[in-house]
Structure 1
């Protein structure tokens, strides 16, 4: 009986992991990349234009991620101007955040990786903004 249970586990665990990986990949947010000039420097930025993309952002990506190859960060484009809050939950890269009202920079914040801070850190824009740019340090 123990042999049967062991065999079932040996088969079930890889199947479960494979299924989880397949679902996780499907949930992966696919975004376009744009060139954006900020403070006289041009960056390659992933775009976040939807609720799903805003929520996911650069979370779960480590600095060696293939998704970050050739990318300097992400631009979040919102349909309205609000005070925005960003945090470092599940974020494994240090970030400089630029708060923008249309194309005008209204502020800048630093957001450490969760590994560096060892706790969730939140930062807010000082005024309503409709764009936020995260630059990977």
Structure 2
């Protein structure tokens, strides 16, 4: 390759990488949730791939963290505990209101994979370590502030 073309080639390669990054990188606007005065850091699952993987394969989740699943439309959603290594609490959320709760959902029941379903149409689901609902007295009708 000509010595004069190499810098141009590298510049084009770097610029292309930057443009691809800018096109496909979507930073999350939501990073925290506040419930009953308690602030939680959030992992965001807002694409089909991220929602499908969820917290699977993770060994743990810090007590002050949760995973927020964001859906484009309100609907009835179900979750499975596939490849989970720890039990979870689920908050079913319609906009910024908790409409249902599922506590201490175990990884397996009767040798099968546990599933949970929303009892109402929701557009967000928040997963926490098991025990968070009880520890912070979270209940139906509580409001969540997302920041």
- Other-structure match for 2:125: 132
What displacement does 1:127 show? 0.8
Q: Larger C-alpha radius of gyration, 1 or 2?
A: 2
TM-score (norm 1): 0.66
Q: Is the 8 A contact 2:95 2:123 kept in 1?
A: yes
| 8 A contact 1:62–1:93 mirrored in 2 | yes
**Following TM superposition, by how much is the alpha carbon of 1:118 offset from its aligned partner in structure 2, in angstroms?**
4.3
Q: Is the 8 A contact 1:82 1:130 kept in 2?
A: yes
Q: 1:46–1:71: 8 Å Cα contact kept in structure 2?
A: no
TM-score (norm 2): 0.62
2:116 paired residue among 112, 123, 129:
123
Which one has a larger percent helix, Structure 1 or Structure 2?
1
CA contact (8 A) 2:63 2:129 kept: no
Q: Residues 95 and 134 of structure 1 are in contact (CA less than 8 Å); yes or no, is this contact kept in structure 2?
A: yes
- Alignment CA distance shift 1:118-1:80 (3 Å): same
Post-superposition shift, 1:70? 7.4
SS of the aligned residue for 2:84 comes to coil
Computed over aligned residues only, the root mean square deviation of the Cα atoms, in angstroms, reads 2.2
Partner Cα distance (1:77, 1:120) in 2: 23
Q: After the TM superposition, which parts of structure 1 deviate over 6 Å for at least 4 consecutive aligned residues?
A: none
Q: 1:99–1:133: 8 Å Cα contact kept in structure 2?
A: yes
Match for 1:99 among 77, 88, 92?
Answer: 92
User: Number of residues paired by the alignment?
Assistant: 102
User: Unaligned stretches of 5+ in structure 1?
Assistant: 1-30
Instruction: Give the corresponding residue for 2:56.
Output: 59
Q: Deviation of residue 40 (structure 1)?
A: 3.0
Distance in 2 of aligned mates of 1:83 and 1:37: 24
Question: 2:68–2:125: 8 Å Cα contact kept in structure 1?
Answer: yes
Question: Which residue is 1:113 aligned to?
Answer: 107
